Amino acid sequence: MRYFRIADADNRILPVASPTLDKVYRMLTSEDEGRVCRDIPESACNHQPQNFLTHIVSLGATKTADGLIDPKLVLSWLLTQLGTPAAFIGLLVPVREAGALLPQLFTAAWLRTLPQRKWAWAAGSVVQGLAAICIAIAALTLEGVAAGIAIVSALAVLALARSVCSVTYKDVLGKTVSKSRRGTATGAAASVSALFVILFGLALASGVFERMALVPSAIFVAGGLWLMAALLFSTLQEEAGSTEGGRNPLRAAWQNFSLLAKDAQLRRFIATRGLLISTALAPPFMVALSARESAENAFGGLGLLVVASAGASLLSSYVWGRLADRSSRKVLIFSAIAATIALAATLGLETAGLLGTVWALPLVIFALMIAYQGVRLGRSTHLVDMATQETRAAYTALSNTIIGLLLALGGGFSLLAEYGGVAIVIGVLGVMSAAAAIVALGLDEVQERSGADT
């Protein structure tokens, strides 16, 4: 990469990115009065335009891959078409979500021994790509129980690799992108990826392409995107960081849990995030509540819901990211309120007999996914800005592990739906969202802290 040389206020010569790269960076961040660097080393500040755009492209690629292989929609449909028993289909979301979160408390200590954690993220992305390719191959060559075993097993490997990426990403982001620019980077990546997933959803809804050719092909593409992201992420200019860690995993896990007793803000943040799992759990129940059931339109219906979900990400992610850079606390509050409204509207439409109309379910899914994107960006930015370089990995692992346990326990909502009804489940999830807004009111405005405070 070509660099130019400029002098800073103390007449020191510093390398900066090419004018074109710097222009794109300033356009995305609205930065026009000198580079803003908070909570990162000066040397990292010099590389920030390159790192900022590298984060957007690599994260955008992996988010696109996530959309192409979505267990809640795409893989569930795929296993149905392959004649896989329902038990395997029911394992998809728990394996994907809990498998990506639960191991983190035990891996964070070892990952902290790596001076440059971008390599762990890149390795995790490679494994995810290979696992996705295995899923596509299984879809083309296997059926029934064999397909279920192969696909769920590959998904479990993918989830474990994703847990490594999740632990290390926030730490790398915190070391390479300024405190006031992190939400913008992740928000822009989500918006870019959403555009490509929308195109996939439109292709699904059109019915032009042969069904069992399009979905495996998209999963192959997802594998390639993960591999490409790994290569690109390895080019980040990451400073060597603290290598404290390397303790016994169980002892490290216990010490991570002890952070809950020491940090009231961490407890409140995890409580807020725990209540907001309602935004992740609600979509399948919203679909179940809808009276619109047609085997002929199942493939097209899948496309409409993919478009609604990706469209919400495209329209809201960058905005949520920019708002999160100003106040991640307010983003969490507004997202919780939006989720409450979306779930209440779902019950209202069902009561009025309108939820089965062609527009109703995609509309409320779209509204809920806007809230979901706000939750994702708000919690990620808040955690990174709340923690220090020394505590960031531990906070991330602890938070993700607790949420993983809650998501695993979320399977209990299926029992509630069976005995109490789907509408009751949606009502409970709506109450959880409303409670999250109240709990989030007590969070600190972490973006107002100076770099020295963090």
Which tokens go with 429?
A: 């999830």
Q: From residue 222, give the alpha-carbon distance in Å to each of 48, 125, 275.
A: 28, 11, 31
Tens digit of each residue's pLDDT (9 = 90 or more) over 177-205 = 776 677 777 778 888 888 899 999 898 88
The pLDDT value recorded for residue 342 is 97
Contacts of 50 (CB under 8 A, 6+ apart): 1, 17, 21, 237
d(CA 358, CA 356): 6
Q: Report the amino acid identity of residue 21.
A: L
CA contacts within 13 A on the Cβ side of 298: 12
Contacts of 354 (CB under 8 A, 6+ apart): 360
Model confidence at 286: pLDDT above 70: yes
Tens digit of each residue's pLDDT (9 = 90 or more) over 322-335 = 899 899 999 999 99
* Residue at 167 is within a domain: yes
Q: Give the global pTM.
A: 0.72
Which tokens go with 52?
A: 């900022």
Q: Among 72-86, 208-222, 260-274, name the one with the lowest average pLDDT.
A: 72-86
- Evaluate whether 177 touches 379 at the Cβ level (below 8 Å): no
Which tokens go with 98?
A: 């809990």
Which tokens go with 443?
A: 């969070």
Q: Is the pLDDT higher at 394 or at 159?
A: 159
CATH number where 159 lies: 1.20.1250.20
The pLDDT value recorded for residue 14 is 42
* Residue at 33 is within a domain: no
The pLDDT value recorded for residue 235 is 85
pLDDT category at 47 given cuts 50, 70, 90 is low
The pLDDT value recorded for residue 283 is 81
Q: Which segments of 177-210 does DSSP mark as H helices, in order?
A: 182-206
Model confidence at 398: pLDDT above 90: no
DSSP string, 336-403: HHHHHHHHHHHHHHHHTT-TTSTTHHHHHHHHHHHHHHHHHHHHHHHHHHHS-TTTHHHHHHHHHHHH
Model confidence at 386: pLDDT above 80: yes
Q: Closest Cα partner for 162 from 204, 131, 193, 190? A: 131
pLDDT category at 256 given cuts 50, 70, 90 is confident
Indicate the DSSP class of residue 446.
G
Model confidence at 111: pLDDT above 60: yes
Percent of the chain with pLDDT over 70: 80
d(CA 305, CA 312): 11
Rg (CA), the chain: 22
* Residue at 17 is within a domain: no
The pLDDT value recorded for residue 219 is 96
The pLDDT value recorded for residue 28 is 53
Number of domains in the chain: 1
* Residue at 20 is within a domain: no
* Residue at 370 is within a domain: yes
The pLDDT value recorded for residue 42 is 60
* Domain housing 155: 40-453
* Mean pLDDT computed over every residue of the chain: 80
Q: Among 307-321, 328-342, 409-423, name the one with the lowest average pLDDT.
A: 409-423
pLDDT category at 439 given cuts 50, 70, 90 is very high
Please measure the distance between the N-terminal and C-terminal CA atoms of the chain and give it in whole angstroms.
Answer: 32
d(CA 314, CA 366): 11
The pLDDT value recorded for residue 21 is 58
Tens digit of each residue's pLDDT (9 = 90 or more) over 55-105 = 888 999 999 999 999 887 788 778 878 888 766 776 787 788 888 888 776
